[in-house]
């Protein structure tokens, strides 16, 4: 059965065939699997994550460049439509610009399919989750959309840009970097599944920090839930960055805040203090009358 991508590609006026979606997905899986197989258990294993993320990032960058080409073609279309004089030359130029925009859209989608398949293979093999360093990312059937918090905020204010609008209610989550044990993962997923049962069209907002929040990102990707990332800007805010990120999360006007300030694994909990930024988000939520749920061990 043809996928939406296959139908979009076949509608182009190009005598050359496009790779089917299944082939592009396989390409992403193979590229990542081969890379990890070659560098695993070698001296390059120490930089395996950097290499893998760079490979995924290359296709993400390519998709962005192609998207800009499509935008330029659409700008050209608008100018030609505005100044259209009915001549054969003007009609030909408009058709060329239209074809260029549609072809670029398909090429961008192809890059995103390879990117997301490679990212999926990376997660399956290593347990790590890839997210772009900056910018929003539209989702494919392999992954959920991912939005920059500032773009989502602008969209909430304007309600004009569907690409950056989180859509449904926002559920914010902050968790400790060391809270990624099996016990933590189980309860984080329980809490997120509960939230989704309450708000089926929810978007998940987090900072993308390692540990508990990466587990939440993995859940969102598996469930097809839109992600909004409010990354901590350490270059600008230094030590205050994790708390400034909380301000961005609260500015999204979340319906509910979930927090896990301490690992539910007793050995890990004994080694560290509760995670301050998670406690801070809970405090902000309570101060603003936003529903807050602290993730706790399963009742005996």
Q: How confident is residue 32, by pLDDT bands cut at 50, 70 and 90?
A: very high
Q: Tell whether 134 is covered by a domain.
A: no
- Shared-domain flag, residues 212 and 246: yes
- Shared-domain flag, residues 186 and 119: no
Q: Tell whether 196 is covered by a domain.
A: yes
Q: How far is CA 134 from the centre of its chain?
A: 10
- Shared-domain flag, residues 111 and 161: no
137 or 35: whose pLDDT is higher?
A: 35
Domain count, the chain: 2
- Shared-domain flag, residues 13 and 115: yes
In this predicted structure, the answer to whether residue 93 has a pLDDT above a threshold of 70 is yes
pLDDT in tens, 205-226: 999 888 999 999 999 988 989 8
Residue 67: closest CA among 30, 17, 29, 105: 105
Q: pLDDT value at position 140? A: 60
**Among 27-36, 74-83, 138-147, 239-248, where is mean pLDDT lowest?**
138-147
Please compute the mean of the pLDDT values over residues 257-283 and round it to a whole number.
91
In this predicted structure, the answer to whether residue 71 has a pLDDT above a threshold of 60 is yes
**Among 27-36, 45-54, 133-142, where is mean pLDDT lowest?**
133-142
Last residue of a domain, one of 126, 161, 177: 126
Q: Tell whether 26 is covered by a domain.
A: yes
- Shared-domain flag, residues 30 and 75: yes
- Shared-domain flag, residues 87 and 215: no
Q: How confident is residue 161, by pLDDT bands cut at 50, 70 and 90?
A: very low
Q: What are phi and psi of 204, to 5 degrees?
A: -100, 125
Please compute the mean of the pLDDT values over residues 291-296 and round it to a whole number.
94
Q: Tokens for 106, please give them.
A: 């398909």
Last residue of a domain, one of 95, 126, 157: 126
Question: Measured between alpha carbons, how far is 142 from 120 in angstroms, rounded to an integer?
Answer: 8
Residue 119: closest CA among 230, 202, 35: 35
- Shared-domain flag, residues 63 and 181: no
Please compute the mean of the pLDDT values over residues 194-210 and round it to a whole number.
93
Q: Tell whether 157 is covered by a domain.
A: yes
The CATH number covering residue 179 comes to 3.40.50
- Shared-domain flag, residues 25 and 81: yes
Of the ranges 36-40, 68-72, 132-136, 163-167, which is most confident?
A: 36-40
- Shared-domain flag, residues 54 and 171: no
The string of DSSP codes covering the chain is ---HHHHHHHTSS-SSPPPPHHHHHHHHHHHHHHHHHHHTTSGGGGGHHHHHHHHHHHHHHHHHHHHHHHHHHHHHHHHHHHT--S-HHHHHHHHHHHHHHHHHHHHHHHHHHHHHHHHHHHHHHH------SSS-B---SSS--EEEHHHHHHHHHH---GGG---S-EEEEEE-TT--SHHHHHHHHHHHHHHHHH-TT-EEEE---STHHHHHHHHHHHHT--EEE----HHHHGGGHHHHHHHHHHHT--SEEEEE-S-SSHHHHHHS---HHHHHHHHHHHHTT-EEEE--PPP-
Q: What are phi and psi of 233, to 5 degrees?
A: -100, 90
- Shared-domain flag, residues 181 and 86: no
In this predicted structure, the answer to whether residue 81 has a pLDDT above a threshold of 80 is no
Q: Tell whether 156 is covered by a domain.
A: yes
Q: pLDDT value at position 28? A: 96
Q: Tell whether 133 is covered by a domain.
A: no
- Shared-domain flag, residues 159 and 211: yes
Work out the percent of the chain whose per-residue pLDDT is above 70: 87
Q: Dihedral, CA atoms, 190, 188, 249, 206, nearest 10 degrees?
A: -120
pTM score: 0.54
Domain extent at residue 116:
4-126
- Shared-domain flag, residues 100 and 152: no
């Amino acid at each position: 059965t043809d996928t939406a991508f296959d139908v979009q590609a076949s509608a182009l006026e190009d005598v050359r065939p496009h790779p089917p979606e299944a082939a592009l997905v396989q390409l992403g899986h193979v590229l990542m699997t081969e890379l990890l197989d070659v560098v695993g258990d070698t001296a390059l294993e120490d930089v395996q994550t950097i290499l893998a993320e760079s490979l995924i990032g290359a296709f993400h960058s390519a998709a962005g460049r192609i998207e800009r080409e499509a935008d330029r073609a659409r700008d050209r279309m608008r100018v030609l439509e505005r100044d259209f004089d009915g001549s054969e030359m003007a009609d030909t130029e408009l058709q060329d610009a239209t074809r260029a925009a549609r072809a670029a859209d398909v090429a961008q989608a192809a890059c995103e399919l390879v990117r997301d398949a490679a990212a999926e293979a990376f997660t399956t093999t290593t347990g790590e989750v890839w997210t772009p360093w900056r910018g929003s990312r539209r989702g494919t059937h392999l992954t959920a959309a991912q939005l920059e918090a500032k773009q989502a905020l602008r969209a909430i204010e304007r309600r004009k840009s569907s690409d950056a609008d989180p859509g449904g209610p926002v559920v914010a989550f902050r968790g400790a970097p060391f809270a990624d044990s099996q016990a933590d993962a189980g309860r984080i997923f329980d809490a997120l599944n509960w939230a989704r049962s309450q708000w089926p069209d929810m978007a998940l907002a987090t900072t993308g920090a390692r540990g508990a929040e990466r587990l939440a990102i993995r859940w969102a990707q598996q469930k097809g839930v839109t992600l909004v990332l409010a990354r901590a800007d350490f270059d600008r805010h230094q030590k205050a960055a994790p708390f400034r990120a909380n301000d961005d999360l609260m500015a999204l006007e979340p319906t509910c805040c979930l927090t896990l300030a301490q690992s539910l694994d007793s050995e890990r909990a004994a080694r560290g203090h509760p995670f301050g930024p998670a406690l801070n988000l809970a405090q902000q939520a309570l101060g603003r009358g936003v529903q807050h749920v602290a993730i706790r061990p399963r009742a005996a």
